[in-house]
Each structure stands twice: as C-alpha cells, then as structure tokens.
Structure 1
Amino acid sequence: MDKIYLNELAKILKINESALRYYDSRGLIPKLQRDKNNYRFILEDDLAFPKTVICLKKTGMSLKEIKKYLDFVEQGDSSIKQRYEMILKQENIVLNKLKDIQEQIEFIEYKKGLYFKKLDK
C-alpha cells in the first residue's frame, strides 16, 4: 500500500494543506497516520475517509455534523439508520441549492438574451 503524504493529499482533494491539518486536529481524518519523522500520511486504501469529509463539507454540512457522521461510520452497521438519515438531510439541502442555482441560471439567461437583442439593434 502506498503512502500519500499531506501535500499529495491536498493536491488530490484540491484543498490547502492547512485545511487538512485543521480537519485532522478536529478528528475528521481518522486514518491519518504519522511516519518516523512525524509527517502525516494516509494509506491509499483509506482515501475514502478524507474524500468523504471534503464531499460532505462541499454539501454544506458543518464540521460538527461531519464528525458525527464519521463517528457513526466507526460504529459500523449498527449506525446505518443514522447515517442514512444524515445523508437524506444533506441530499435535501443540496437539491434546494441546485434549485436556487437553476433559478439563477434562468435569470442570467433571460438577461443575457435581453441585452443581446438590444445590442443587435
């Protein structure tokens, strides 16, 4: 298994190393380890954990809720119902954001068309 150090992980996840260090300090990357020189790394097989954190953060989930979700993951199958409910809640939040974005796009397209017609005259 390949080790992925923090700088590489930051590139993979497209976030700053400082954000990863912060997430680590909050216990949000449970599979992060340290080598003999105290450098943080994660095994390639454990990339799902930080990817999950970043994805949930992008959905608007708070770090506190992400930590709760990860704690449920650590509990195993006994917490499937709680995780499912959390994911359903985030899905609803994301779908509402998508609806808002679609409305914004429609407004922009309307204005773009209006201005194009006026420029064309």
Structure 2
Amino acid sequence: MKKLNVVAAIIQCGEETLCVQRGPAKFDYITNKYEFPGGKIEVGETKESAIIREIKEELHLDIIEPQFFNTVHHQYPDFLITMHSFICPVEHKGLTLTEHIDQKWLKIDQLHTLDWAAADIPIVEKLQTKQK
C-alpha cells in the first residue's frame, strides 16, 4: 500500500478560509472534491518549507510563518495519507489556480456545505469545533 506524507494549507484572509476544488483525478473518490491546498513533502524538506513551496507552486501565493494545526491519518482504498495541516494567514485573496478547477472563500461555519475529500473532513471538523 502506497503511503503519502503531505502538507495542507488552511489559508485564511480575515474571517474567510480558502477551499479549492480538485479536477479529474486518478482516483474517482477524490475527483471534484474540495480540499485544503498542498502536496507532498520532498526529501530533506521540513513541513513548513514544503507548505510554503507547494502554495507558491499551486496558487502563486506567498505564505509566511505557517502555524501547525493538526495531523490527519486517512486510509483511502488505494493509499494511506498522513496530512499535516497549517494555518496560513494572508493579507489578500489574490491567487492563481494552477491545479484546481474552482476556489471558494468561506466562513468557518460554511465549510460543511462543500463536498470535501475524506482526508480533509477532520480538519474542517476541528476548525468548526475551535470556532465554537
């Protein structure tokens, strides 16, 4: 079973959080699902440097001082994912989608309205629990 070690950015501008939608994927169960952007940690890279690099590549957005939020372990049918999420405040919403087909900026209490990838759901739930 393939194991992936990845990072995910909870990008927040004011009271809104960025949600991005995947396009067609190798696995149907994540196609068109919403997720927090990010990607694989490269060899020799810290989690923090990985999230800064991935967000620059995927969204052309600069992240400064990401703050660790939580780690999720999730078993998909074809692989096991360990996802380290980080709160990443930004000053503006200006970005360019290079790998996703849609974006939404939502308040935390609206996040549940989207169809999330299964591994991202525990992050959504923790964000909503912390808000209360």
On whether the aligned pair clears a TM of 0.5, the verdict is no
Name the structure where strand makes up a greater proportion of residues. 2
Name the structure where helix makes up a greater proportion of residues. 1
Q: Which has the larger radius of gyration?
A: 1
* Bin for the TM-score computed over the shorter chain: under 0.3
Give the TM-score, by structure 2 length. Answer: 0.23
Give the TM-score, by structure 1 length. Answer: 0.24
